[in-house]
Amino acid sequence: MSTQRTVRQEAGTVEESPALRLPEEKAEQVVDALNTDLAATYVLYHQTKKHHWNVEGAEFRDVHLYLDEVAEDLEEGADELAERAQALGGVPLSGGATYEAHAPVEPEDDDVYDVRTSLTNDMELFGDVIETVRGHVELATNLGDYATAELLRQQLTTLEEHAHHLEHYLEDDSLTEW
């Protein structure tokens, strides 16, 4: 544990950024939205990694590799969200319990499920995160923070792409026999 005793900025606060010139009251709303998306992204990341670790069956390798790619994209997206929140003068959330407490989404429980159930749960969680991010694109746009809106649009595109790919994995057409 660090021995530093000076707090440079308290969690949950926003300090106006002279460089970005977004008024503090607007920055507070955007930082709150970014932290919500950050929390949701990490909940989705951890569920995806859980399924990556536990996937079994005839299509194990493809699904295992794909879920790892998804997790990497989510982790990269989370980093971008946190860095934008910090650039706007906020303090990005950190820590598993903090993410789960602030996330607008619920992960599945700790049990291990068959691959179809796992991917269905992932697709549903992606849908929930997508809806939240869409609302935050609109919020950022309405507050005049076009850079954050663009960042969120880019994240939305990646989220939707992965959700669509999960739909394809869940189709009933397969080379394997049931």
Q: Is the pLDDT of residue 47 over 80?
A: yes
Contact indicator for 119, 169 with CB cutoff of 8 Å: yes
Please report, for residues 19, 38, 122, the alpha-carbon distance to residue 152 in angstroms, rounded to integers and kept in the order given. Answer: 21, 11, 20
Question: Can you give the pTM of this predicted structure?
Answer: 0.91
For 89-141, the pLDDT digits (tens) are 999 999 889 999 999 999 999 999 999 999 999 999 999 999 999 999 999 99
Where are the chain's structural domains?
24-169
* pLDDT score recorded for residue 71: 98
CATH architecture for the domain at 24-169: Up-down Bundle (1.20)
Q: What confidence tier does 59 reach under pLDDT thresholds 50, 70, 90? A: confident
* Ramachandran angles phi, psi of 143, nearest 5°: -90, 0
Helices (H), the chain: 24-54, 60-87, 96-102, 115-142, 146-169
**Residue 90's beta-bridge partner residues?**
14
